[in-house]
A and B are shown apart, each in its own frame.
Chain A
Amino acid sequence: MNIPNIPKEKLKEIYTKMTQTRHFEETAARLFTEGKVHGTAHFCIGEEATGIGVCCALDKEDYIAATHRGHNQSIGKGMSLDRMMAEFLGKETGYCKGKGGCMHIADFSVGSLGANGIVGGGIPIAVGAALSQKMRKDPHMTVGFFGDGASNEGSFHESVNLAAVWKLPVLFVCVNNLYAMSTPIEKQMNISDLSQRALAYGIRGVAMDGNDAIAVYLAALEAKEYVKANGPMLLVLNTYRIMGHSKSDANVYRTKQEIEQWKKRDPIPRMRRQLLAEKIFTAAELDAIEAQSKKDVEAAVRFAEASPNPKVENVLDDVYAKPGMARPAEPWTAEAGQRGDR
């Protein structure tokens, strides 16, 4: 790996977003225990390098369809910590005006088409977004995130096949954390290398260590150009979910030793060691980044806590869109240009 070829600013961005995600989730978990949050959350602690490595390789105009365990994907794509935390607390200033919760956050202004409460539900949407890009002659691409569990859904099969047939600019990123809720991968499928699934669709499939943020970033950079030129590709990022599936998980399906083993491969200290070994950052610089991330999350909590709750009288707003509403993803750019009245 040739770290020096990556601009220092980009490395700082990756490390910042990883530490922000970690602090965001640790803070969210604490808010749960303090009884300040209702609902649930699915934490990606241990998986930060996957979503952040990939999203830091994307352009703002590229799209992502994120998962229910996608805080890293959302932060990676540039979503605001303030509005994410506000949504987590169900506030009016949240990304969904308090109506979606952190399982459903989206920010169309940065190309995030939304996290998804349905396992595998975002994969067809990613294909549709890539189809739209191709039809509009938009030179950008789409990433569809999903997990090992989702790769057993019919939506995966239908979507990857359709994208392959139409050669759409979509990168399918499988975050393989070895468990679908409690079910280990060996009870879910008869293969251990998930990238083999690409063969069935006639597309390129690559599996790699998903806990190495810099390697993931470099792979995603290359994959981004590959899918724009050639059509879809499957990138499998092997990782591990350190926390339970959701807040109610008692972790009875795996051993403490297994979790401890994976903690040694934690992607954040690992990136720190790489950056120090290559002498790109000093320990003091990295400490300062971490401290700033902590402050950013604390500021997000203050923003969220100070924000108003949504009003009950507005609960019916936005069930239906009104004619003529502005479309943030308004991008009809084909030469023809003439647009109908929307």
Chain B
Amino acid sequence: MREITYAEAIREAMSEEMRRDPSVFILGEDIGVYGGAFGVTKGMLAEFGEERVRDTPLSECAIAGAAVGAAITGMRPIAEIMFSDFITIALDQLANQGAKIHYQFGGQVSVPMVLRTPGGSGTGAAEQHSQSLEAWVCHVPGLKVVIPSTPADAKGLLKTAIRDPNPVVFIEQKLLYRQKGPVPDAGEDLTIPLGVADVKRSGKDLTIVTYGRMVQRSLEAAKALASEGIEAEVIDIRSLVPLDAGCIIGSVKKTGKVMIVHEACRTGGFGGEIAAVIADSEAFFHLDAPIRRVAGLDVPIPYNPVLEANVVPTFDAIVAAARDLV
């Protein structure tokens, strides 16, 4: 199978959907001739023109709100927010408007929009450009939240998100943009349903539940653990809302031990929700050890590269926690 990067996969998903459906368009800051801050929309202006690849002023509230207004009147907008940290400015339109419209107006209209935005640390951009804020949006009923970890998942999930009748927050991982992975040929209409987890590695000794950039690190840790005779199962949840609780519960019933790995801060992080889902289920009676969380420290992301690397779960931390658990 051919290999393309995560960024290319996202671009391919958008381009295919824009060719398929004339109501799909993209708006955001510097997405036109510049190609987006991370180059994701590079070349799209040339194919689709300024009408459908719309450079906006620096106005995150208006970007999100224009997407909501367009979505309820027949379009399928994709709004790009340059860094996920900037969703603060867009949150009223996302959480108070887009997320509520279908419910508060008695189901009269749907809000088919995607808000794409890159999250995560590791670029040296420090406190205001490196956060993992997914838990904020997971807390708002009406929003769906997706964080892909591979190019194939990114493409398949984004195509599904664009066709979904609800507002989907699609959080990309900026450190993955340039990584390559196998993706089915363009034109094969690869779609992946939201709410279906992917077991990225099977194992019998413990379950690692993770998503986003930490999937790869967890897989590396699992490989190291295997050399010590510990077989870890790695579940990539892929979409946080809706969550594939069945997959997680089934795995924990099998292994009896579970740890949750995410880059976002521990307190109020989505790992707490996953832990509660497990503890609330029949998997509780199969647990041989407490549920462990390996998460980012409760600290803003610092600048110095050594500090930055050590405030999110490291390979060593994941391996150590797994050994401890087993």
Contact = CB atoms under 8 A, between A and B. Distances in A.
A132 to B, nearest CB: 4
A282 to B, nearest CB: 41
Contact of B73 (A132, A162, A338, A340): A132
Contact of B105 (A95, A123, A158): A95
Interface stretch (A97-105, A248-256, A284-292): A97-105
Interface residues of A, number: 64
Interface residues of B, number: 53
A263 B319 CA distance: 75
A331 interface: yes
B74 A121 contact: no
A331 B61 contact: no
A135 to B, nearest CB: 6
A35 interface: no
Centre residue among B62, B69, B163 by max chain A CB count within 10 A: B69
A340 B20 contact: yes
B14 to A, nearest CB: 13
A interface: dominant SS: loop
Contacts of A281: none
Contacts of B101: 106, 114
Contacts of A108: 72, 105, 108-109
A155 B104 contact: no
Interface string B58-77: 01111011111111111101
Interface stretch (A7-15, A212-220, A314-322): A314-322
A65 B65 CA distance: 12
Interface in A292-342: 317-325, 327-332, 334, 336-342
A124 B93 contact: yes
B96 A121 contact: yes
Interface string A152-164: 0011001101100
A133 B73 contact: yes
Interface string B83-115: 000000100110011000111111111111000
A97 B102 CA distance: 12
A127 interface: yes
A172 interface: no
A128 B92 CA distance: 15
A158 B59 CA distance: 6
Interface in A62-79: 63, 65
A118 interface: yes
Given A99-B106, A132-B74, A317-B107, A65 B69 contact: yes
Contacts of A334: 22
Contacts of A162: 56-57, 59, 62, 66
Contact of A321 (B70, B75, B165): B165
A94 interface: yes
Contact of A131 (B64, B66, B107): B66
Interface in B151-165: 163-165
Contacts of A142: 69
Contacts of B112: 321, 342
A108 B71 CA distance: 13
Given A129-B70, A158-B59, A340 B23 contact: yes
B142 interface: yes
A89 interface: no
A126 interface: yes
Contacts of B246: none
A69 to B, nearest CB: 17
Nearest to B66: A128
Given A97-B106, A319-B142, A336-B22, A127 B69 contact: yes
A225 B105 CA distance: 30
B106 A95 contact: yes
Nearest to B110: A321
A51 B144 CA distance: 35
A125 B101 CA distance: 11
Given A165-B57, A332-B23, A113 B69 contact: yes
Among all A-B residue pairs, the 10 with the closest Cβ atoms: A128-B69, A124-B65, A340-B21, A321-B110, A158-B62, A158-B59, A128-B66, A125-B69, A318-B107, A97-B106
10 contacts: A125-B93, A129-B72, A158-B62, A159-B62, A318-B107, A334-B22, A339-B23, A340-B17, A340-B21, A340-B24
Given A158-B57, A162-B62, 12 more contacts: A99-B104, A106-B105, A106-B109, A113-B69, A117-B96, A118-B97, A124-B64, A128-B71, A131-B70, A322-B165, A332-B75, A342-B165
Interface of B: 17, 20-25, 51-52, 54, 56-57, 59-62, 64-75, 77, 89, 92-93, 96-97, 101-112, 141-142, 144, 163-166
Interface of A: 63, 65, 94-97, 99-100, 104-108, 113-114, 116-118, 121, 123-133, 135-136, 142, 154-155, 158-159, 161-162, 165-166, 317-325, 327-332, 334, 336-342
